[in-house]
Structure 1
Amino acid sequence: MNDQIFDLAQGLVPANYIKQARQARQARESLLKTLLAQRRLPEHGWDEPTLKLALAELAALDSNTFVGNAGVGEREGRVICPLVAARHFGLAHGIGRSGDIAEAQPKAAGSSLIYALTNALAADALRRAGGAGVSECVTLPLATGMSVTLTLLALRQLRPNARHVLWPRIDQKSCLKAVSAAGLTPVPIENLLDGDELRTDLDALAAKLSEIGADDVLCVLTTTSCFAPRGVDKLLDVARLCAEQGVPHLCNNAYGVQCDRCMKAIASASRHGRLDCFIQSTDKNFLVPVGGAIVATADGRHGPELLAKVRSTYAGRASISPVLDLFCTLLHLGADGWLRLLERRRASFPDFRRKLEAVAAKHGERVLHTPNNGISMSVTLTPPEGSKPAGSLGASLFVRLVSGLRVVTPSAAGKTVGGIPFESYGAHYSGYPCAYFSVACAIGIADGDVDLFLRRLDKALAEWKKPPRQPKAKAGGADGAAGNGSCAAKDRDLAKDFRPNPSAKEFVPAAQPAPCMTAAPPCSAEKAEEKGVAAE
């Protein structure tokens, strides 16, 4: 509403009322004006009415919302389902053009503006998280793995004769598939075991680079965030090696934005060596739905050229949905909310570790010493003679509604992934000396999550450590009674952890035992354990 509309409204409503309403409206509009002028996170997060007003104003700039528009093209932003239209705030044209994902679209000035602002806000968020020197970034409507693939495809255009990607080993299939999907040859570099922790083998990396030849190596692909006991790659040393050899360097920073140690390592490698680009997930770092990633650079010498290639390599238009999720979330948080979220996670890590150490020690286990991993922690698993395999602990916790825990049992048995044979796949190393499980202190975690998990872990470890029962002779009419009794006990344990909270529409820890819930079918824990299923 402009000033003329407010003046006309005074003929219908008392002027003092209209004056107050005009001031309130102008206060919200000034936030959007400041955003367009400064192009960085607002100091304080926006409330929901301000966000909705801004989205309505920006959506009104797209042609599919124009009054009297006559669309005769094959794509006119028509959406038949009202629920879908409301979910997208009327933004139906997407972003980019066939030549460049960041190019402004004639029919979608509002969507193009949202995309440009999102990239600016994301770069500011990365800098505030510790990524000093981040100059630009591109937000992609692709998850991390496919964004790595797109970046590799863009790099191939700059180095068309290079086909090998040197890759310090990390046992996640998406990393390996991202390289293979780009038509490239991954060359795994085995890690070094330093105490409990797995670190980058710089000598092996340098030797393989010399063996293949710098001209035939497309890049070195390092990793920051990963499951313990693997630590952050030695980014600075790798960056210096790449600078000396003239080889590009990419970094998979999947969920490393939330850890200042990862971000400072990236900044240092970019400043003192060569780190062309680094890629991170939007959902794992910014608490939005899965579907987006940010490709960013803090290397002014090599990064801008590669980012331009990434933008132009994306084929066709792109969905605005993951971009819009990030845009709204960053404005909702503001600079103070974003920093508060990061600090809360950082402060939670030592407390989580201390409590985990206490539970582990109670059952004769220990937390592995991994000083170069500030997100993930691992606990040894040493089953007593004749007990169940380590994988059954993961199954037991999974049916107790513990998600995200990862059990690893090193084995000499080989596994082929992407055409490459690995020993002890899942452990990041061919001969790790013990079984273990990993958990993460990730952004957004609450104290209640930690305490609830530790309580269930304590029970599951006690049960797992028990020696197997000796079979008893069956008594008439009592066939299977022992098994059903065991299952009933587990159901009672699960019920003790929760009680319904109708007002919050979620479960919260209960102070007193509650009636047995029927969240899982009888004997589900035993059946899962027999199959060796592990959570995550």
Structure 2
Amino acid sequence: MDESALKFAERLVPPSYVSQGGEAMRARRSKVRQLLEQRKCPKEGWDDLTIELLLNDLASMDSNNFSHNCGVGEREGRVYSELVRRRHYRLAHGVGRSGDLAENQPKAAGSSLMYTLTNAIVLDLIRHMGVQKAASCLVVPMATGMSLTLCLLTLRQTRPQAKFVLWPRIDQKSCFKSIITAGFIPEIIENTLEAGGELRTDLAELERRVEKLGAENIAAIMTTTSCFAPRGIDRLEEVAGVCERRNIPHIINNAYGLQSSKCLHHIQQAARVGRVDAFVQSTDKNLMVPVGGSIVAGFDAKFIAQVGKTYPGRASNSPILDVFITLLSMGTEGYAKLSAQRKELKVHMTEGLQEVAHKHGLQVIESKNNPISVALTLPHGASDHNLTQLGSMLFRRGVSGTRVITATDNKTIAGHQFIGWGSHCNNYPYPYLTAAAGIGMENEDVKLFLERLGKCLGKTVVEGKLAQGGKEKEERGKEKKDIGKEEEKENCFSEEEEKENGFSEEEEKENGFSEEEEGRK
């Protein structure tokens, strides 16, 4: 209601009641006005009613929701299902136009305004989290890999002769496939193994490859921040310096690094001392929304605008709407709090894994340049099958997100063979398990993970599943006799826990954990 409507309402309800309700309405409208005026993410999150008020106002500005609308085109925002209509808050036109992701639509003033505001508040969040010099960003309705491809295709327009993308190895398919999909030839730069077991960028080899190929033939160097331990953040500052000196574009895969102040600090420093054309991050990994979107940000607003112009056709507004609602609900203070909590839980997880490692004769790999992921060594002599069964055991007990790396798995992607796939290098010295402290994780998650990991390790040791050689059954029997009832109870699941967590005899047999099957293997 506007002010005149409230005056009429006073004829129907006592004026004091209307005045009180009117104040509440004006407070919500004031937040909307402030958002439109300042174009910044609110410091404190909004309540759901205020967000829905804004969304309803935006939807009412789109032509498909006009009460007098008479659509005679092929795309008029028609939605058959009322459930779908409500799911999208009646915003059915998407964003952008055929030639530009960021272009406004004459039929959809509300959707266009929503997209512009989303880009503005995301940019404000990026600056708030540490990349103060970021000039522009686009929320793109594609996941990280495809958005990296979009950035590379944009570079092709200015470097048509370039064929190669230099890529310090990171064993994650989508970033590698983004290079292939964009039509470039990936030049894989193997990492160096440093003291403590961490993997870092081989700068000498990268510079040697630049000399060999010629800077003019290189479309970009693609580095990585967030990754699975024991790989650390790429040496962004040094690579950015090479890119600046040799006039080579630099794209950073920051997939889940927005939640990490350390990742963002390195991006900021790289842009300060050298060249960074764009850094790309996932919306679901960083902002806790459904999969389907990413953020392309950079320090040159013209290049980011060109990325938007490279996108063909109109785009879905579903991932954008999810981000818009989430950030209004969360606010910068809410996001900063979650980020700080994640950082604390990473420390807690690492300390807990060190205790587990000490108990089972293992060790936590020192990855001081990886602020999110941590790796725990596994018994070196165990077979690959038994090692991967540990990952299966954890997953069946409700622990998701861990990865067991044996360093002997080979994989071929688009004709390129990777030795030791998953370990980011050809010959990592020992197998390991990784886990990550991601945003939104809670203390109970860490507690349960450490508890279940310890018990799964205890179970595999007791039953000989991580033993080696032909004496496996003999060693298993010996260990069973040597371990007292109290220690076995401490290290393994109780009968109730076995039942609760899916340790039925049928499942054990089905998944290769029966004594008969173990003996055959």
TM-score, length of structure 1 as denominator length: 0.88
Letter in 2 for 1:328: I
Q: Distance in 1 between matches of 2:378 and 2:138?
A: 42
Displacement after TM superposition at 1:389 (Å): 2.7
**Which deviates the most, 18-27 or 28-37?**
18-27
Which range moves more in the overlay, 415-424 or 357-366?
415-424
Tell me how far 1:127 sits from its aligned partner: 1.2
2:194 is aligned to: 194
Cα shift at 1:518: 8.0
Name the counterpart of 2:397.
Answer: 400
Distance in 2 (CA, whole Å) between partners of 1:246 and 1:28 is 50
- Contact 1:180–1:418 (Cα < 8 Å) also in 2: yes
Q: Counterpart of 2:432 in 1: which secondary structure?
A: strand
SS at match of 2:386: coil
Q: 1:385 to 1:86 in 2, by over 3 A?
A: closer
Which of the residues 412, 429, 432 maps onto 2:428?
432
Q: Distance in 2 between matches of 1:122 and 1:387?
A: 43
Tell me which amino acid in the other structure corresponds to 1:455. Answer: E
Deviations 1:218-251 (A, max 9, x none): 0000000000000000000000000000000000
- Aligned counterpart in structure 2 of residue 390 of structure 1, from 387, 392, 405: 387
1:247 aligns with 2:255: no
Aligned to 1:324: 321
Which residue number in structure 1 is paired with residue 361 of structure 2?
364
Does the CA-based 8 Å contact 1:176-1:418 persist in structure 2? no
Could you say which residue in structure 1 is the equivalent of 2:91? Answer: 91
Give the conservation status (yes or no) of the 8 Å contact 1:58–1:111: yes
Match of 2:311 among 301, 310, 314: 314
- Alignment of 1:453 with 2:449, yes or no, is yes
Other-structure match for 1:418: 414
Is the alpha carbon distance of 1:277 and 1:71 closer, same or farther for their aligned partners in structure 2, counting shifts above 3 Å?
Answer: same
Give, in whole Å, the separation in 2 of the partners of 1:209 and 1:276: 18
| Match of residue 6 from structure 1 | 6
2:229 corresponding residue in structure 1: 228
**Deviations, residues 94-113 of structure 1 (Å, cap 9, x unaligned):** 00001101011001000000
**Cα distance in 2 between the residues matched to 1:273 and 1:333:** 33
Q: 1:157 to 1:26 in 2, by over 3 A?
A: same
Distance 2:505 2:494 in 1: 13
Question: Aligned with 2:338: secondary structure?
Answer: helix
Shift of 1:527: 3.2
Whether the aligned pair in 1 keeps the contact of 2:227 and 2:373 (CA below 8 Å) is yes
Find out whether 1:123 has 2:86 as its counterpart: no
Q: For residue 286 of structure 1, what is the amino acid of its counterpart? A: L
SS in 2 for 1:244: helix
Residue 258 of structure 1 aligns with which residue?
A: 259
Q: Secondary structure at the match of 1:68?
A: coil
Letter in 2 for 1:136: S
| Residues 171 and 428, structure 1, Cα contact 8 Å, conserved in 2 | yes
CA deviations over 1:402-442 (Å, ceiling 9, x no partner): 1000000012x643212111211111001110000100011
- Percent identity reads 46
Give per-residue Cα distances to partners, 1:326-354, cap 9 Å, x unaligned: 00000001121111111111121111111
How far does the alpha carbon of each residue in 1:10-62 deviate from its partner, in whole angstroms, 9 at most, with x for none?
22112111111111100000000000011111111000111111111111110
Q: From the superposition, tell whether residues 264 and 470 of structure 1 become closer, same or farther in structure 2 (CA, over 3 Å).
A: same
Whole-Å separation in 2 of the counterparts to 1:520 and 1:324:
42
CA distance in 2, matches of 1:370, 1:354: 13
Q: How many angstroms does 1:525 deviate by?
A: 4.2
- For residues 440 and 495 of structure 2, the distance between their equivalents in structure 1, rounded to whole angstroms, comes to 24
Q: Distance in 1 between matches of 2:497 and 2:155?
A: 54
Task: Quote the Cα distance in structure 2 between the aligned partners of 1:328 and 1:337.
Answer: 13
- Give the match's secondary structure for 2:376: strand
Match of 2:507 in 1: 524
Offset at residue 123 of structure 1 (A)? 0.6
Shift of 1:464: 1.7
Cα separation, 2, equivalents of 1:84 and 1:434: 50
- Could you say what secondary structure the match of 2:511 adopts? helix
- Bigger proportion of residues as helix: 2
- Which residue matches 2:487? none
Residue 135 to residue 89, structure 1, CA distance change in 2 (3 Å): same
- 1:476 aligned partner: none
Amino acid at match of 1:161: Q
The equivalent residue for 2:138 is: 138
Distance of 1:203 and 1:62 partners within structure 2: 55
Per-residue Cα deviation, 1:60-108 (whole angstroms, up to 9, x for no partner):
1101111111111111111111110110000001000011010110010
8 Å contact from structure 1 (residues 191, 429) kept in 2: yes
Q: Please state whether the residue corresponding to 2:219 is helix, strand or coil.
A: strand
Deviation at 1:155, TM superposition (A): 1.0
1:197 and 1:230 in contact (8 A); partners too: yes
How far is the alpha carbon of 1:492 from its aligned partner? 6.8
Shift of 1:458: 0.7
Q: Which moved more, 1:434-443 or 1:385-394?
A: 385-394
CA 1:495–1:309: 2 relative to 1, 3 Å: farther
Secondary structure of 1:523's aligned partner: helix
| One-letter amino acid of the structure 2 residue matched with residue 441 of structure 1 | A
Q: Which residue of 1 aligns with 2:486?
A: none
TM-score by length of 2: 0.91
- Counterparts of 1:517 and 1:354 in 2: how far apart (Å)? 27
The one-letter amino acid of 1:345's match is R
5 Å-filtered alignment, 1:65-104, equals 65-104=65-104
Q: How does 1:45-84 map to 2 (within 5 A)?
A: 45-84=45-84
Report the 3-state secondary structure (helix = DSSP H, G, I; strand = E; otherwise coil) of the residue aligned with 1:379. strand
User: Displacement, 1:465?
Assistant: 2.0
Unmatched 5+ residue regions in structure 1? 473-489, 498-515
Gaps of 5+ in 2: 465-471, 477-490
Question: Residues 346-389 of structure 1, C-alpha deviation per residue, up to 9 Å, x if partnerless?
Answer: 12111111111001110000100010001000000015678963
Could you tell me how far apart the structure 2 residues matched to 1:225 and 1:492 are? 34
Alpha-carbon distance change, 113 to 193 in structure 1, aligned in 2, over 3 angstroms: same
After TM superposition, give the deviation of residue 526 of structure 1 in Å: 4.7
* Cα distance in 2, alignment partners of residues 114 and 52 from structure 1: 13
* Structure-2 separation of matches of 1:292 and 1:387: 35
| Contact 2:396–2:502 (8 Å) recurs in 1 | no
Give the RMSD, CA atoms, in angstroms.
Answer: 2.1
TM-superposed CA distance for 1:469, in Å, is: 3.4
TM-aligned CA deviation for residue 451 of structure 1 = 0.7
> In structure 2, what is the equivalent of residue 166 of structure 1?
166
- CA apart distance, 1:128: 1.5
> Cα–Cα, structure 1 residues 295 and 491, in superposed 2: closer, same or farther, change >3 Å?
same
Residues 52/313 of structure 1: CA separation in 2 closer, same or farther (3 Å cut): same
For the residue of structure 2 that corresponds to 1:469, the secondary structure is: helix
Q: Which residue matches 1:206?
A: 207
Q: 2: distance between equivalents of 1:271 and 1:493?
A: 56
Deviates more, 1:239-248 or 1:14-23: 14-23
